[in-house]
Structure 1
Amino acid sequence: MSSETQLREQICLLAKSMFDRGLTGGSTGNISARTEDGGLLVSPTGTSFGRLDPGRLSRFDANGTLISGDKPTKEMPLHTAFYDTRSSAGAVVHLHSCHSVALSMMPDANEDDFLPRLTPYAIMKLGKVKLLPFFMPGDAAMGEAVRGLAGKRSAVMLANHGPVVAGKDIEAACNAIEELEDTARLAMMTRSMSPRGISDADLQRLITKFNVEWDG
């Protein structure tokens, strides 16, 4: 089995896992990954994470030209913005996950540091998450907003829409975006309870020990 065949199957397997657990529903969400030749495999437009076909994924060459598969997601500007500004990005995932969207709508949502510091794992896997404003779905301005961050963030939250996360490979990106949603869920669950979070001192220890990218 070729490496690309394995990657195609891995994309569909992980997407179905997230769909089956309710992390994105219907035909929402999109996912992409770098191929060995510098191209991209991308989920097609209008497809469900629960029923992606490995053979019909949109295939781009290293020049960004669609060479096979179905028409790609309309959110391609989001994906290419991460790949163009983060050399370490090997995959990008975007979900319409319920709790993170709910947290983005709260009046006190922190634009520069979206996720409350409740567990070490979100800090380790995501760094500091940027909350971006609302954009119309498919608006190329979303990609421009990501480019404006100059590669300093691996994760953004689109207000009233959903998170977007880049990772070194498809598994890392999926693990990180699940951590984002889990943390948002914890934040919503404990919202009126004044939970004890990670202290500033422990945050610095985590950043140092695990070499976390933390855009100050």
Structure 2
Amino acid sequence: MVFLLFLYEFERELDLNEFCEGAGVYTLHSVSVHQGDVNSGHYYSFVRPAPGTQWMRFDDEKVYHVSEYAAIGDNFGGEELESYNYLRGERKPRTRNKPYNAYILVYVNKAQAPTLLADCNPLKASSSSSSSSSNSSSSSSSSSSNSSEPSNPYSVPHRGAVAASPRFDKKRTRENCQSISPLIELKRSRDDVLQQLHASITEELSRLLYGGEQQQQQQQQQQQQEEEQQA
């Protein structure tokens, strides 16, 4: 086995219409990189959550934003400059093969990318699911009203039924639920409370620790000013 480290460039977008009519244009979504040799190595990935957003690097437990060059251009393989001491008279810098390059590329249909790579929100659903659930609820209610058998409060709903919470009643699935505040607002409110609490604690500690000294200094300054005015 041989681990190939040759220079191989890949595109941000692939137009497959040239090879298959109606195939569409695909945009790069993720790049998996292998670093090491044929016997051992390390894998990490670069993912762009949605078109137009910043690339992110997933390296074990570390996840952080990176530039587009770090995700694409730096993983073409080929050679890179090696460190050398130019004070010794080495005019020509030495190069070496990069120990890492792209291993797996994932492309997504550009026309379907906004839908496939959209944010996951459990409060949002398709209109078909909402209509089907409403139809199933209406049919179940009509059947229960027409049936002469007494209703069993401990009966298990039929397969596929969804028990709706009262606070979600008369709300369409495509609308944002106003009763649930976003997580960002919750975090901001919590941060504001903590900052106010921290400021009050700091102020109280400074008053207890340095309040007497500050009062003495202020009294001494006032006495000096009065003596200067009298003189």
Q: TM-score range by the shorter chain?
A: under 0.3
**Higher strand share goes to which structure?**
2
- TM-score w.r.t. the length of structure 2 is 0.21
Larger relative contact order (CA 8 Å, sep ≥ 6): 1
- TM-score w.r.t. the length of structure 1 is 0.22
